[in-house]
Chains A and B, each alone.
Chain A
């Protein structure tokens, strides 16, 4: 089955700095890669996603890059703000059938004012 590794487990930055979270996956059949933000006591919130026919996608301060050959994808957050502090999860999902994603273990991002 699919295995998703996520690094780092904790990331501490100063407000205004950039943050990068990296994930690798094992199953070449995966072709959908969502990122979720989870705040304490809440469910995961989809923030951005990318499909395998695209190498990069950007939405305001958030961008995701995908390297299918190397089987890794990354989340980039620029101009971080204290409200970006949360746990971020990457996931990899197959193209058809169940679409069941495999999640990474999460990255706790702390943005210091």
Chain B
């Protein structure tokens, strides 16, 4: 399968705990995006990378959230001191970006559903 993959698919945690999610993009894509989706809403942008550089962060991304893409391949999203309001689906998407083709077209992974108790 050459699509975007995410791990884990589901995560249940207690308030105050830290969680980390992983995203593996389509291999030739140099852009990687993180989104959050709550029930009845469309995906909301959190942050994106071009290769290993984090180029933009949304105001939704509080200081409890951090994302990395250390070698320009997979990315991790960590949430520290989780709160019940963090419960959502966390989606990752990748696009060719500046590497040609339909550079703005984003392909999503299956998401990680987080439940904070």
Interface residues of A (CB under 8 A from B): 4, 6, 32, 34, 36, 41-46, 49, 89, 91, 93, 95, 98-106
Known: A42-B110, A43-B91. A99 touches B31 (CB 8 A): yes
Residues of A within 8 A of B103 (CB): 99
Known: A36-B108, A46-B106. A99 touches B95 (CB 8 A): yes
Residues of B within 8 A of A105 (CB): 40-42
The answer to whether A106 touches B31 (Cβ under 8 A) is no
B83-117: contact bitstring with A at CB < 8 Å (1 yes, 0 no)? 00000000100010100001111111111010000
The answer to whether B108 touches A45 (Cβ under 8 A) is yes
Interface residues of B in 2-38 (CB under 8 A from A): 4, 6, 31, 33
The answer to whether B104 touches A91 (Cβ under 8 A) is no
Q: Chain A nearest CB: distance from B45 CB in Å? A: 5
Known: A91-B42, A106-B41. A46 touches B107 (CB 8 A): yes
Q: How far is the CA of A104 from the CA of B37 in the complex (A)?
A: 12
B109 (CB) vs chain A CBs: closest residue: A43
Is B74 in contact with chain A by the CB < 8 A criterion? Answer: no
> Contacts A45-B108, A49-B102, A104-B42 given; 13 further ones with Cβ under 8 A?
A32-B104, A34-B105, A34-B106, A41-B113, A43-B6, A43-B110, A46-B106, A89-B42, A91-B42, A98-B48, A99-B104, A102-B45, A103-B43
